[in-house]
Amino acid sequence: MTSALLLENIHASAQQALAQAQLTVATQPKALAGDALHDALQRHELLGIRSATHLTADTFAHARHLLSVGCFCIGTSQVDLPAAAHAGIPVFNAPFSNTRSVAELVIGQTIMLMRRIPEKSRAAHRGEWQKSAKGSFEIRGKTLAVIGYGNIGAQVGILAEAMGMRVVFYDIRPRLSLGSAVPAPSLADALAQADVVTLHVPATPQTKLLIDRAAIAGMRRGSILINASRGSVVDIEALAAALDEGHIGGAAIDVFPEEPRSNADAFVSPLQDKPNVILTPHVGGSTEEAQENIGVEVATKLIGFLQTGATVGAVNLPQIQPAPLQAPARILNIHYNRPGALSHFNQAVADIGANIVAQQLQTEGDIGYAITDINIVPPTGWVKSLMEDPTVIRTRTIVA
């Protein structure tokens, strides 16, 4: 029976979905690394992780039985995606399930920071009564700049408009604006307009330190910065200096360049103990609803690949949504996208006297993925012999 390993306290909804699909499910509350991870992968075909487990090329080299990886979160930067692809292992994530959770947090933080609630709350805890309207503002009529207008950024914009804010956005890709949001021609233009800036970009070489000292200097004096995207996007030292100088009026940071590996480890940041700053431990998507939805979404994708070969939603392989299997066997062939690779495969099918009933092919970069239904079940050892072809990365058979 196929076995799945779920690490890092993935929501029980994932375990339930996998168990209903007749899979054996093992769980670990923490991340695994090194030999412990390598040993675990010898016993499981599916792996579920969150952000603390890092999968490297060495990991995949030791994971001969691993069929697929599910990242039960939005990001996949903890996985060496090219290495996974060249091992024939699709990686799935959940790009939509926690968008509402992140968006709600951003709006809540916007209100708290504009009202200077963090410092008033700290004062009240110290026994100080700071009842004053000075420096406290409504968000209605203020301008929000959304940097990265994808699934989360667009939803933040919609919620902000419902609260009476003016929304501008900047994205490196052309995006259709929702509501009355207005695209800005450049990052600098978006920052210069905004009373509040919220970041929703992925971790890429292009976004590393996107908000650096110069970008912060280009923001309005007294404006607010919110980052619930990736820790590498903001120059934390520059932000701390801008807060001390009063150029930035407040900040809410949920992600950091370096984060503790577990709740037992200490957290240290230059932003600690600063007024009107909200620091949260990477909980933008951490609501019960989001985690339940993520569990179902990613588990469903893992099951789909296992049972049908579907790769829709994979972030590192060509995507195919195959029709239901109506033949004795289905061959899943992940191969290098080279001239003659498919013809060699088809010849191997013909050599065992099989007829192709249906075939789908999709390529992406140097990887090709073919799903082929045939009228017989391949003989024992055929898949192993097929793997001797240098163009083949991995082949698997599904029998009706």
**Options 104, 259, 292, 364, the catalytic residue:** 259
Residues 266 and 132 in one domain: yes
Distance CA 22, CA 7 (A): 19
Residues 1 and 105 in one domain: no
282 is catalytic: yes
Distance CA 150, CA 95 (A): 10
Residues 75 and 165 in one domain: no
Owning domain of residue 225:
98-279
pLDDT tens-digit map of 201-221:
988 999 999 999 999 999 999
Pairing of strands 392-399, 329-336: antiparallel
pLDDT tens-digit map of 143-164:
999 999 999 999 999 999 999 9
Residues 238 and 328 in one domain: no
Size (the chain), residues = 400
Say if residue 86's pLDDT is above 90: yes
Residues 113 and 209 in one domain: yes
Model-level pTM greater than 0.85?
Answer: no
Say if residue 77's pLDDT is above 90: no
pLDDT at 177: 93
User: What is the total count of domains within the chain?
Assistant: 3
pLDDT tens-digit map of 214-258:
999 999 999 999 999 999 999 999 999 999 999 999 999 999 999
pLDDT tens-digit map of 258-300:
998 778 899 999 999 999 999 999 999 889 999 999 999 999 9
Concatenated DSSP letters of 331-375: EEEEEE--TTHHHHHHHHHHHTT--EEEEEEEEETTEEEEEEEES
Domain of 270: which CATH number? Answer: 3.40.50.720
pLDDT tens-digit map of 22-65:
999 999 999 999 999 999 999 999 999 998 899 999 999 989 89
Residues 225 and 180 in one domain: yes
How many CB atoms lie under 10 A from the CB of residue 158?
14
Domain of 391: which CATH number? Answer: 3.30.70.260
pLDDT at 264: 87
Residues 225 and 205 in one domain: yes
How many CB atoms lie under 10 A from the CB of residue 226?
25
Say if residue 139's pLDDT is above 90: yes
Domain stops at, among 252, 279, 306 = 279
Residues 129 and 272 in one domain: yes
Comparing C-alpha atoms, which of 281, 283, 236, 279 is closest to residue 257?
236
Residues 230 and 324 in one domain: no
pLDDT tens-digit map of 306-331:
999 999 999 999 999 999 999 999 99
Residues 254 and 347 in one domain: no
330 is catalytic: no
Residues 136 and 197 in one domain: yes
**Options 230, 297, 330, 335, the catalytic residue:** 230
**Options 282, 297, 330, 335, the catalytic residue:** 282
